[in-house]
Structure 1
Amino acid sequence: MSLVVYLAAALLALSAVLLFRRPRAALRNPLTASTCAAVSISALCFTCSAPMTLAAVNRLTGVPNFGAPMTYSVISAYSCSLIILLIQWRGGPPEQLRRTTRHAVVVFGLLIIAIIVLFSLADAPVERLNDLDTYYANTPYMREMIVLYLVGHGACIVVMSAVCLTWLREVRGPLRTGLQLILVGLLLDLAGFEIAKVTAIVARWSGHDLDFLSTNVAPPVVSLGALFCSAGFTLPRLLPPAITHWRSLNDYRRLTPLWTEVQWAATAPKPSPSWWELPHTRLQWLEVSIHDALLALAPLFDDRVRRISLATALDEGKTPSQARVIAEAAMLADAARQGAGPVDRPLKEPTGYRLHATGAVVTTGLVELAQALGQSPVVAAARRGAAAASHD
């Protein structure tokens, strides 16, 4: 069982690392800091609850079952961190957020103190690594400690479920998906942990044995639930930049034909981007370099080539918008041919024509130009000089 629990802890820790990749920025943002804290405490919960960890803690402290109040305290801290995270996520006036956060910290802080006091009053000499909840279900003070941490965690689940269900009707996009994942995680937590644990403990109280619910069912189900909750909290934070980087990579690849055509004319220096900003930063550098090259080639633009190519593209059945892009790409290919090698005809007066792609704020115009350069036979003819030759 320790392997499953440690795997869940490792995945949660990885999520925390991704969220905390910029420590200074994360600490300045209460929402990011709360998310990192909740995911990190969740990973700590699973690490503490693993039988191997419990055995090591008991051995190091010399106190049988010392790992139990430690684990229950961390679980309570995790419940508190989830509520604080939901408070920050929901938003509101700063003073109200601070007040609600303080209330949550006080309530769960008292709960942790009560857990520690009850354990110190209890008599639990037999070390139990897998079935402590059921083994000591009828032991004074241990019984109250177990019930108390389950009640605290159950209250957290109920409060979070109610808030998420209410909020779910108001939001869309990644945030809605995140809330849905959180609700799935809470449902697994409720059914696989709370109900399973409570059922097993109540069975002990009535003289029956349903310990398998606590020892075999609860750990893997609650691990899965925690992963869903953590995914729900981290997805809205990580998905937008991930989508941005993916689109940047795709645009970078699609601009290859255009860059191949004009790279010899670019003079913009290449920066040294960090690993996380690499896709988007490289795309920005490529766009700057392409615009720099287009500016250098502008004096070589031949409007005759553009008009001939425009007419040819329209004759082939292209839409006016498609024909314009093809004509501009053909004029650019002809200019690149002139600038990259010996000119086989007298140079004409510069046209002064401005490419639509150079005036666009988004990358779409450059991508359309790049695709025409790589695919259109009209552009291929201009690259060979056929369009210009037809008017000489």
Structure 2
Amino acid sequence: MSLVVYAASCLFGMAALLLCQKPHVALRDPLTASTCAAIVLGGLCFFCSAPVTLEAVNDFTGIPNFGAPMTYSVISAYSASLLILLLNWRGGPADGIRLWSVRIAAVYSLLIAAIITLFSLADAPVERLRDLDTYYANTPYMREMIVLYLVGHGACMITMCYVCLRWSREVTGILRTGLQLIMVGLAADVVGFECAKFTAVVARWTGHDLDVLSTDVAPQVTSLGALICSAGFVLPRLLPAAQVQWSSLSDYRALAPLWAELQNVPTAPKPAPPRWQLPRGRLYYRELRILDALLALQSRCDGRIRESAYRQAKAQGSTPGEADFVAAAAMVVDAAHQAGQLPPPDFPDSGGASRLHTAVFSETSELVRLSEALANSPVVRAAREGAKRATRS
């Protein structure tokens, strides 16, 4: 059991690190701060409930079962953090969110105080690491403490289910998917934790033994439910950023043929990019260098190459738009092979056709189309061979 809950705790911690890569910036955003707080407290719940942790806490304090009110208090704080997170996620007037957050924090603070007070009044001398809820189900004050934390956590789960269900009917896309995942996780928690625990406790009240529901079923199901629930909160925050990085990686690779053609073109020196970068940053530096190289080739662009390539592309069935990129790519290839010549060749006036308008390629998608034309067009390959022969001669 300890291995399962420790693994869940580590996953929660990893999710928090992904969301809070720059703490001094992220924590200024109430949504990010509340998300990180909820995830950290969720991981702490699993860490505290592990039998190994409970035994260590009991030995350290010298109080049998001291880990129980500690764990129940963390569970209650986790419940409050989930409600506050849902408030910030749903949005609305800032004053209203702040007021309800204070109310929720106050209610669950009183709940935690009651849990600690009841434990201090109870007589629980026998250490129980896995079955405390059922072992002390009939013990005065311990009984009330157990019921109180279950009611507090259950109220949070049911309230969140209701809010998420109503909200999911108003939204679409990734947000709705996130809400549906949250509801699945909450349902697993309600059925696998709340119902299992209450059933086992009530069975003890009536003289029956269903401890297996509390000791074996509840921890496994609640671990799965909490992870699904956390995925629902994190997915709408991380997926758009992940999609941007994935798209940037695709564009970065698509620009490789164009960069390979231009990387030896002399340009003004630029600061070296950071060694470790996400795909979006790598794409930015590659685009910047490509545009610098294209700008440096302006004076070497031969409009005759462009016009000839355009006619050939059209003759091969390209659309006017495709032919424009093929023609530009052919002119770039020819100019790149002349980059080492000094001074630039004196081409006849082509009425502006010799100009390589870098502004046209300021968008990533335009540079990608230019790179694809450069890599795939037989017209551009012929222009490259012609440029090589001209350079050798």
Q: TM-score, normalised by structure 2?
A: 0.94
- Contact 1:301–1:350 at 8 Å: present in 2 too? no
Q: CA deviation at 1:98?
A: 0.8
Show the 5 A alignment for 1:219-258: 219-258=219-258
1:256, CA displacement in angstroms? 0.8
Q: Measure how far apart 1:357 and its partner are.
A: 6.0
Question: CA–CA distance in 1 between the matches of 2:193 and 2:231?
Answer: 19
| Match of residue 64 from structure 2 | 64
Q: C-alpha distance in 1, partners of 2:117/2:214?
A: 24
The alpha-carbon distance between structure 1 residues 32 and 128, as it changes in their structure 2 partners (threshold 3 A), is same
1:75 aligns with 2:75: yes
Q: Which residue of 1 aligns with 2:18?
A: 18
Map residues 1-392 of structure 1 onto 2, 5 A cutoff: 1-265=1-265, 266-273=267-274, 275=276, 277-340=277-340, 347-349=346-348, 351=350, 352-353=352-353, 354-355=355-356, 358-385=359-386
Q: Report the AA paired with residue 269 of structure 1.
A: K
Separation (CA, whole Å) in 1 of partners of 2:275 and 2:29: 21
Once the two structures are TM-superposed, the CA of residue 49 in structure 1 deviates from its matched residue by 0.1
Query: SS state of the match for residue 272, structure 1?
Result: coil
Distance 1:71 1:292 in 2: 59
| Structure 1 range deviating more: 29-38 or 225-234 | 225-234
Distance, in Å, in 1 between the alignment partners of 2:154 and 2:293 is 63
Q: CA deviation at 1:130?
A: 0.5
- CA 171–270 in structure 1, closer or farther in 2 if over 3 Å, else same: farther
2:177 and 2:25 map into 1 onto residues whose CA distance is 25
CA distance in 2 between counterparts of 1:197 and 1:7 reads 22
Q: Deviations over 1:90-117 (max 9, x none)?
A: 1111111110000000000000000001
- 1:271 offset after TM fit, Å? 3.9
| Structure 1 stretch displaced more, 144-153 or 346-355 | 346-355
Partners in 1 of 2:272 and 2:114 — Cα distance? Answer: 57
Letter in 2 for 1:183: M
**Partner letter of residue 86 of structure 1?**
L
| 1:209/1:350 CA distance change after superposition, 3 Å | farther
Report how far residue 387 of structure 1 moved.
Answer: 11
Asked if the contact 1:313–1:323 (Cα under 8 Å) also holds between the matched residues in 2, the reply is yes
Deviations along 1:201-243, whole A, 9 cap, x unmatched?
1111111111111111010110111111111111122122222
Give the C-alpha shift of residue 252 in structure 1. 1.0
Report deviation, 1:88: 0.7
Which piece of structure 1 moves more, 360-369 or 332-341? 332-341
* Letter of the 1:51 counterpart: P
How far apart, CA to CA, are the structure 1 residues paired with 2:153 and 2:357? 60
| Structure 1 residue 360, shift from structure 2 partner | 4.5
8 Å CA contact retained: 1:268, 1:288: no
Aligned pair count reads 387
Aligned-residue CA RMSD (Å): 2.0
Q: Say which SS state the counterpart of residue 207 (structure 2) adopts.
A: coil
**One-letter code aligned to 1:171:** V
1:355 to partner: Cα distance: 4.2
Q: Is the 8 A contact 1:157 1:190 kept in 2?
A: yes
SS in 2 for 1:118: helix
Q: Is the 8 A contact 1:13 1:40 kept in 2?
A: yes
Instruction: Report the 3-state secondary structure (helix = DSSP H, G, I; strand = E; otherwise coil) of the residue aligned with 1:68.
Output: helix
Contact 2:119 2:141 in 1 (8 A): yes
Q: Deviations over 1:100-159 (max 9, x none)?
A: 000000000000000001111111111110111111111111111001000000000011
Distance in 2 (alpha carbons) for counterparts of 1:54 and 1:274: 44
- Corresponding residue SS for 2:370: helix
Q: Could you tell me how far 1:340 is from its partner in structure 2? A: 3.9
Equivalent-residue separation in structure 2 for 1:161 and 1:77 (angstroms): 18
Alpha-carbon separation, structure 1, partners of 2:297 and 2:264: 11
Q: Distance in 2 between matches of 1:241 and 1:286?
A: 20
Question: By how many angstroms is 1:179 displaced?
Answer: 1.1
- Cα separation, 2, equivalents of 1:274 and 1:200: 57
SS of 1:384's equivalent in the other structure is helix
Post-superposition shift, 1:362?
2.5
SS in 1 for 2:123: coil
Q: Structure 2 vs 1, CA of residues 350 and 194 (structure 1 numbering), >3 Å: closer, same or farther?
A: farther
Q: 1:216 to 1:257 in 2, by over 3 A?
A: same
Q: One-letter code of the match for 2:286?
A: L
Distance in 2 separating the partners of 1:115 and 1:230: 26
Structure 1 unaligned segments of length 5 or more: list them: none
Q: Cα–Cα, structure 1 residues 387 and 308, in superposed 2: closer, same or farther, change >3 Å? A: farther
Give the TM-score, by structure 1 length: 0.94
Question: Residues 174 and 274 from structure 1, CA distance in 2 versus in 1: closer, same or farther, beyond 3 angstroms?
Answer: farther
Segment drifting more, 249-258 vs 259-268 = 259-268
Q: 1 CA distance for matches of 2:9 and 2:127?
A: 24
2-side partners of 1:62 and 1:386: how far apart?
85
